[in-house]
Amino acid sequence: MRTCRSAASTPTVRDHTHILPAHISSQWRDLALHKPNQDAFVCQPMFHNQDSFFGVFDGHGTTGELCAQYARDVVPALLQQHLAKNVNTTQALIRAHVDANTMMHSAPFDDSMSGTTAISVLFQTNEIHISNVGDSRAIVAQEITDGAASPQLVAKALSIDQTPFRKDERDRVKKTGARIMTVDQLEGYEPIHENWGLTLGDEIDESGDPPRIWHPHGDYPGTAFTRSLGDHVSEELGVFAEPEVITKTLNAHDKFIVIASDGVFEFLTSQAVVNIVKVYKDPLDACLAVVEESYNRWLQFEVRTDDITCIVLHVEPSIAAAAASKQPPVKASKLHGRNSIIAGHDVLVAMQDSLRPVRGIGVDINKSWRSRDTIIGGYDTTARMSMASEDNLLSSSCPQGDTASLLLSPPSDYDVKRHTVPKSAADFARLERMVQHNFLFSHLTADKVPALHDVLSVMQRQVVADGEVVIHQHDDGDQFFLVDAGRFDVRVRAAPVEPEAAPTTDDSLDAAYGPVVHTYVASEGSHPTFGELALMYSKPRAATVLATGGGGTLWTIDRSAFRSILVRRPLRNVVQRLRNLPLLRPLTVAQLNLLAEQMKEVTLEAVMDSGQFYLVVQGSVTIAPPLPADPTTIHAHDSFGDFILSDTPSRTPYRAVAAEDTECLCISRDAFEATVGNLSAVVEKNNARRARKSATSRAKQAAPLNGVVVLAHTVSQALASLSQIDQVRVGPTIWQDLVATCRLVQFGGRWLTLRSISKQTVVQSHLKHQLLGEQDMYVALGRDQAGVAPLYGVAQTAHDLHALFDVAYVGVLEELVAFPLSSEAAIQYYAAQLVVAVHLSKYIGASRTFTICGNPEYLAPEQINGQGASSVIDTYVEGTEYGGQHRVGQTLATDYWSLGILLYEMLVGTTPFQHLHHDELAMFNGIVSFSPDSLEFPPTSSPALQALIKGLLDPKPASRLGAADCFKKSADECVVPHHAFFQGLQWDQLNDTNAPLLAEASAKFDRLVAAPTSQALDLGVPYTGDAKWMQEF
């Protein structure tokens, strides 16, 4: 890191605002070691009269630094001239940028393929004017009070990035003839599309390959922004220097402003920046922290870093202004933060979801473009979304290459005591202080969750000698490091090689590992960390780290230990042990999960025949039957009292004596049947399901290419002659996302819905197990089910996989209506469908997985605390598509929480946490500390619906409404279906109830069929990979 300048200025006292500014501009060395810092900035607290002016200019191209420096000098000078002539402030700002751009073309350097962005804030009395050209950014931190909660600082945008991600900017430059493509699209590696989040900003850019502007007849200039100063060649393609100007009144709740180049926001959200700055009283310290964290994120995801410039402005209203305004902290609302916008409000509102995507958060290729940001935690899609057949769910092996499956199901027998490293109380206290600000540990508290203590217990001290390499660039790593003492250099090389001998001099170190790009230095108040991503998933190291300056001391923990502690199961290995018992082998994994949760833990000494079924977890038991039979010893993982569960129990008296400290799990027959039903009936039902599954598997094996395999439990006579999928006539497209295409098709005058997915997409997106799991669900049901579109059959062609639904229209709810829904009757209908789907989890055999996926706003507190389990099921609903998170965890309480969030969104239009969705950590904290009393409801909403939502959103799973529903034998005994909100609903008639949006769906269907369209059956994406695995489809 080379710091050009850093300073904290004296507070500027103005008529209406006190400003305490600080700035830092740093150049981070990468593969081009002698590349100059192309960022420039200006800080003029005393600018024109009593105005103040602050700006950041981010240059690009071969003369980018000259362009940025020129703009830094000329734009403020021109602005002063225009203001001195009493030109309107907005017009003065626009003219200053446009004129500076024109003058730059005549400057003594080449700006044909070089230029600069410009983001600035002009303070005038109590107003600020933000001018933006390009993709640097300005944000304001505002204090929000939400109900009884303590005030929170929330990031609000003062500018919107001007890039091809924005549809309005994209359309503007395309009118000049420009082409908009990524580099991969330009070179033919990716098909031409503009699906960079059709709701702009939805998709997360993990590749670093954004859409760019290209000449219609050449592969240039490739600019990733739509406005710039300079870039003379790009002007004919619509890239100009006119800024978007926002004018805002500063209020008492505006605490500080951050102006920064895109090097800061490449891997940090605006809220993340606010969260860093708010910790520091000194704005210079805040600048340093932002730049440091930005650099660390760059190093985690790239082998280079960008130039990084950051200005932090602490703003305070003067005493006079405060007395005049007397404004309390603002209450959170959907439009909060824009009530003080004077000019430019339309830009912020229209484009608030069009921010350039933040990299490094994770990308879920299975996510519909309609979804909001998803949490993935860095895990492979296969592990998150797979629903393998139940016979393989408990296998200790995983598919080749599917390492993430192991990550998400960490060793259930991990023993903290056996791995504990002795530490003093002082060591524990020191470690707690060292990790308290790290994002991986910040949600853990020793008093609430023992996981923090356990994590610290197994951390190991590592003493490192001077010159010793801690991690090697590009090696797979599974350890996280906390610097206790010492100095550690970070080196990055374009193509690392292992030196033949240990290098000693700086030159040999540079040759072996690359130049030093950063140095971690521990001090009493600062303990850097590195290797965080290794605790999340297996990612090659981005750099080499070695000890310098005499060596140092590290604390380490590996991924297996960390994940095992955070997501360990309350009853370790119980499901697998139950599965191994011949008596219980016919039960599904879901049923075994329920059974394991209901069994009670006991320490056995001696017991007479007690009418209980016992599973020995640890130790051994001697069973003494009446003489003359010999005693029998039951060891760990075995059971006794099995006859209690059979229909004709032969109750032979016995006495069980523990030979040592013996832990058992036990359950009575009544509790067993209350959980999963009568054992014989359950076995009979499961055997019938397995028979259907076996028949389906044989049919798939025998089906030729293009052959239709019927999955419906009753065959429609109208479709009896449909044996080849190419017999259907393909009509218009109903909906399409990045994965699937749903189209209307016709056979024998009957309209059906065909969902098609290319085999290439299935392979790239790891969708095999998800698709097979969907089919298993239909086979397991063996009947029509309310809310589930009737799947008639499946087929595959040379390049695509098809699913044929025996219904005329399978659509997406969000295409028909926007939340909030217009009536509580509609909410009741769709809520009832979801309640039914939740309860099906007890019967269709979905397994338990320890992962987080889907919309983070739906996560329950127990999942964030590392103790939630989920099993993802995508369900196609007739008239809708509901692809949601379905979790079979400790109880159905986790699912009910998500249902409560969805009900609130259906009623209000947003989730309770949507205002925090740009900062995942703030959102998690908000969920964990949530109180249902903070919810605000429309005045017209019914008390019954409000009570249902509040009951479902109880943060304590044990007291959440319906927490014990998973242990009920039928829905008739469950609490949630009998809630007052569902009063009058005929649950047994849901299949025959018309959907509230039937008229909207019918209207769209009529529009589609009115326009004659004929399409090819296949999607046109060739597949040349291995076809053997497709035989299971």
Does residue 893 register a pLDDT over 50? yes
Sign of CA dihedral 404, 407, 412, 418: positive
Instruction: Could you list the beta-strand ranges (E) of 869-977.
Output: 873-877, 880-884
CATH topology of domain 435-567: Jelly Rolls (2.60.120)
pLDDT at 754: 93
Mean pLDDT, residues 426-453:
69
Q: Which CATH superfamily is domain 2-160+241-350 in?
A: PPM-type phosphatase domain (3.60.40.10)
247 Cβ neighbours under 8 A, 6+ residues apart: 89, 90, 127, 128, 129, 130, 341, 342, 343, 344
Cα-Cα-Cα-Cα dihedral sign, residues 385, 792, 977, 983? positive
β-pairing, 479-491 with 330-331? Answer: unpaired
Q: Please give the average per-residue pLDDT across 665-683, as a whole number.
A: 80
Lowest pLDDT segment from 559-568, 573-582, 836-845:
836-845
Instruction: Please give the pLDDT value at position 474.
Output: 82
Mean pLDDT of all residues in 489-518: 73
Q: pLDDT category, 551, cuts 50, 70, 90?
A: confident
pLDDT tens digits, 329-360:
443 333 333 345 555 555 555 444 444 545 44
First to last CA, the chain: 54
Pair 364, 853: CB distance under 8 Å: yes
Under DSSP, the state recorded for 929 is T
Asked if pLDDT for residue 209 goes beyond 80, the answer is no
Residue 208 has what DSSP assignment? S
**Gap between the Cα atoms of 633 and 750, Å rounded:** 66
Percent of the chain past pLDDT 90, that is, above it, reads: 20
Is the model's pLDDT at 569 over the cut of 60? no
191 in the Ramachandran plot: left (φ > 0), alpha (ψ -120 to 50) or beta? Answer: beta
How is domain 813-992 classified at the architecture level of CATH? Orthogonal Bundle (1.10)
> What's the CA gap between 521 and 133, in Å, rounded?
37
Res 587 pLDDT > 70 = yes
CA dist 240 and 74 (Å) reads 17
- pLDDT value, residue 967: 55
- Asked whether the domain spanning 703-810+998-1026 has the same topology as the one spanning 2-160+241-350, the reply is no
Domain definitions of the chain by residue range: 2-160+241-350, 435-567, 574-679, 703-810+998-1026, 813-992
Angle at 906 between CA 905 and CA 908, to 5 degrees: 60
Token readout for 309 is: 């410039």
For residue 259, the model assigns a pLDDT of 94
- pLDDT value, residue 396: 30
Q: Which CATH superfamily is domain 574-679 in?
A: Jelly Rolls (2.60.120.10)
Average pLDDT over residues 889-895: 65
E strand spans, 625-669:
632-635, 639-640, 655-668
Task: Kindly state the average pLDDT of the residues 186-211.
Answer: 56
Asked which of 4-18, 145-159, 669-683, 833-847 is least confident by mean pLDDT, the reply is: 4-18
Tokens of 269: 């959200």
Q: Return the minimum-mean-pLDDT range out of 227-241, 434-448, 606-620.
A: 434-448
Instruction: Give the Cα-Cα-Cα angle 910, 914, 918 (nearest 5 degrees).
Output: 150
CATH pick for 703-810+998-1026 out of 3.30.2350.10, 3.60.15.10, 3.30.200.20, 3.30.930.10: 3.30.200.20
Query: 442, 929 in Cβ contact below 8 A?
Result: no
Per-residue pLDDT tens for 912-936? 988 887 666 577 778 888 899 999 9
Tens digit of pLDDT for each residue in 280-293? 888 888 888 888 88
To the nearest whole percent, how much of the chain has pLDDT over 70?
71
What mean pLDDT do residues 1002-1016 have?
Answer: 83
pLDDT tens digits for range 761-806: 888 877 887 788 788 778 877 777 766 788 899 999 988 999 999 9
